[in-house]
Amino acid sequence: MTDRNPDRPDLPDLSSKNPDWWRQAVVYQIYPRSFADADGDGLGDLRGITRRLNHLAALGVDALWLSPFYPSELADGGYDVSDHRDVDPRLGTLEDFDALAAEAHRLGLKVIVDLVPNHSSHTHVWFQEALAAGPGSPARDRYVFRDGRGAQGELPPTDWQSVFGGSAWKRVPDGQWYLHLFAPEQPDLNWSNEEVRADFRTTLRFWSDRGVDGFRVDVAHALAKDLTEPLRDLGDLSAAAEQVLDDMPPGSHPYYDRDEVHEIYRDWRKVFDTYAPPRMAVAEAWVPNARRVLYARPDELGQAFNFEYLQAGWDADELRQVITDALTTARTAGASATWVLSNHDVVRHASRLLLPPGTDENAWLLSGGHAPAIDPAKGLRRARAATLLMLALPGSSYVYQGEELGLPEVADLPFEVLQDPIWEQTGHVRKGRDGCRVPLPWTTTGPSYGFGAGGAWLPQPESFAAYAVEAQDGVEGSTLELYRTALKLRRKLLEGESLTWAADSPAGVLDFARHDGWRCVANLSGTALPLPPGEVVLSSAPLDDGRIGPDTTVWLAR
Ligand code: NOJ
């Protein structure tokens, strides 16, 4: 592995040897099936990613996170894993993975892979064994099988609901039921089972031995379940996770955010620390801030995604509060703060931030993005301001593929092309997450705008041509060049993990200093602001007659 800046000791040490390289890193999320397609079958693959890694190096990110590329029947976009230690043949081979990791490391990029420990695919050999072995067998104990309620066991064991809609239990031919907190094709594993724990330790070592630098842990808050009999119904609380957790005493939910889950991560930490540098990890845990940071303690995963930031509206007071809370709790726990604006599960921020407060995003998607209609140019302006604000914050930022191009949500995907299980499982009530997963445009022409030699597994709108890398590369003022410049400057400006808010910023303005006079001013108000003293090193939009216009963020240096 090479150090990115061997000759520049003045720059922050994000080298491969620094055990803390991840604390303020910028991580680029690749959704492999939508990034680049080398073999022209319409589905992105590992060789496609390797060929395009120079895009990430030129962007200036520190690491890439690969969403699942494991064998999967794609019941949930790859989060239904049939073998946690192999590559989906449609995406390549283990040798292709090794080549990808080697090229990433040559370019000075760390590699983070997704770990999906809460469930497997129903095609996983363990689940097939469980079905064949029958009730009470050791094979069934790797999952959560129970008898049903009712005279004939015809009712599900509890009222627990799947995150994707409907009951979280499915009945098998011999009459028992199994738990699936997500799609029926994703049976939940039983983390009280020692074989399950040992197998995931093997998986951690398998990828770490192949040179992986870290792990993103899927649904980290759901692994530990209270399976003491009788299982408890949730009643009115069987709805959305976050809502449930706000309404219950901490640690009392039967399957979310239980205290015992932390034993698992303390156990994993021992594995991570056998490597030099230790492997890093980041938890996907949709739980309130004060509880989420527990997953990020130094003897556990180190980081947890801060979804409160992603869920905040374009509102200065709300953002200031969320930022302050996140930094305070991260500091208390000895963790590194994280910031995310977009990922493969949410409406892209170039669209989302323009939706009026209180908009029902699903209704907006069902309307094809017409009700309310939003102006893409305004959305992009806001997204660029939001990005510069995020990249100025202390801690680590996670950037989702395509946001560096300013891609909006593809809200008008026709119903007949939808792939997200949410669409079918909710009986066509929720449209799902496909609109942020449309394959990337690399060139302004071609069958799939340079994504591959063939088509794309989700249709790209014609408007994608104008967002293509080719259309923005080297173009002054383009979103791609804004990201490149911001990431380059950020590396030089990083120091410490704190910020100081200006005492007297006007309403609608976020104004803070990092260190050595580096200052970030974000104008979320509707009126232009006088420029504070200092040299403008970067602005998300041209200055407005020497002032900071609405929806604009500037970075200033002394
Ligand atoms: C979170 C992932 O980000 C999402 O895409 C997936 O559907 C669920 N976990 C289930 O694995």
What is the secondary structure of 484-499 as a DSSP string? HHHHHHHHHH--SS--
Mutate to test the pocket of ligand 1, among 70, 74, 218, 343 (most ligand atoms within 8 A of CB): 218
Residue carrying the six token digits 């890439």: 64
How far is 32 from 37, CA to CA, in rounded Å?
A: 9
Q: Ligand 1 mean position to 79 CA, how many Å?
A: 6
DSSP state of 523: E
By the 8 A CB rule, do 210 and 84 touch?
Answer: no
Mutate to test the pocket of ligand 1, among 182, 256, 398 (most ligand atoms within 8 A of CB): 182
The verdict on the CB of residue 188 being under 6 Å from ligand 1 is no
Confidence at residue 328, expressed as pLDDT on a 0 to 100 scale? 95
DSSP state of 557: E
Q: Ligand 1 mean position to 218 CA, how many Å?
A: 6
Confidence at residue 269, expressed as pLDDT on a 0 to 100 scale? 98
Nearest-atom number in ligand 1 for the CA of 119 is 11
By the 8 A CB rule, do 398 and 310 touch?
Answer: no
How far is 513 from 507, CA to CA, in rounded Å?
A: 18
Confidence at residue 501, expressed as pLDDT on a 0 to 100 scale? 97
- How many other β-carbons are positioned within 10 Å of the β-carbon of residue 204? 22
Which phi and psi (to 5°) does residue 330 adopt? -65, -45
Element (H, E) at 265: helix 261-272
Confidence at residue 4, expressed as pLDDT on a 0 to 100 scale? 44
Three-state helix/strand/coil letters over 194-226:
HHHHHHHHHHHHHHHHCCCCEEEECCCCCCCCC
By the 8 A CB rule, do 544 and 528 touch?
Answer: yes
- The strand pairing partners of 214, in sequence order, are 112, 280
Retrieve residue 141's tokens.
């104990």
**Averaged in consecutive runs of 10 residues, what is the pLDDT profile of the chain (558 residues)?**
46 72 96 98 98 98 98 97 98 98 96 98 98 98 98 97 94 98 97 98 98 98 96 83 76 94 98 96 93 95 95 97 96 94 98 96 98 97 98 97 98 98 96 98 97 97 98 98 97 87 95 92 97 95 96 95
pTM exceeds 0.85: yes
How far is 187 from 222, CA to CA, in rounded Å?
A: 13
The verdict on the CB of residue 76 being under 6 Å from ligand 1 is yes
- How many other β-carbons are positioned within 10 Å of the β-carbon of residue 174? 9
Q: Which amino acid is at 148?
A: G
How far is 274 from 506, CA to CA, in rounded Å?
A: 50
Retrieve residue 211's tokens.
């040179």
By the 8 A CB rule, do 39 and 45 touch?
Answer: yes
From residue 428, how far is each of 159, 239, 347, 415 by CA, in Å?
Answer: 22, 18, 18, 9
- Listed in sequence order, the residues at least 6 apart from 202 whose beta carbon sits closer than 8 Å to its beta carbon are 85
Which residue's alpha carbon is at the smallest distance from atom 11 of ligand 1?
A: 79
Q: Which amino acid is at 57?
A: A
Q: Is 141 a catalytic residue?
A: no
The verdict on the CB of residue 79 being under 6 Å from ligand 1 is yes
By the 8 A CB rule, do 346 and 286 touch?
Answer: no
Alpha helices (H) in 442-478, listed in sequence order: 469-472
By the 8 A CB rule, do 218 and 281 touch?
Answer: no
DSSP E strands, 390-502? 396-400, 500-501
How far is 115 from 477, CA to CA, in rounded Å?
A: 37
Residue 527 CA, chain-centre distance (Å), reads 33
Confidence at residue 471, expressed as pLDDT on a 0 to 100 scale? 98
Mutate to test the pocket of ligand 1, among 69, 73, 76 (most ligand atoms within 8 A of CB): 76
Element (H, E) at 556: strand 552-557
- How many other β-carbons are positioned within 10 Å of the β-carbon of residue 360? 11
Element (H, E) at 272: helix 261-272
By the 8 A CB rule, do 82 and 128 touch?
Answer: no
How far is 440 from 189, CA to CA, in rounded Å?
A: 34
- Listed in sequence order, the residues at least 6 apart from 446 whose beta carbon sits closer than 8 Å to its beta carbon are none
Q: Is 233 a catalytic residue?
A: no
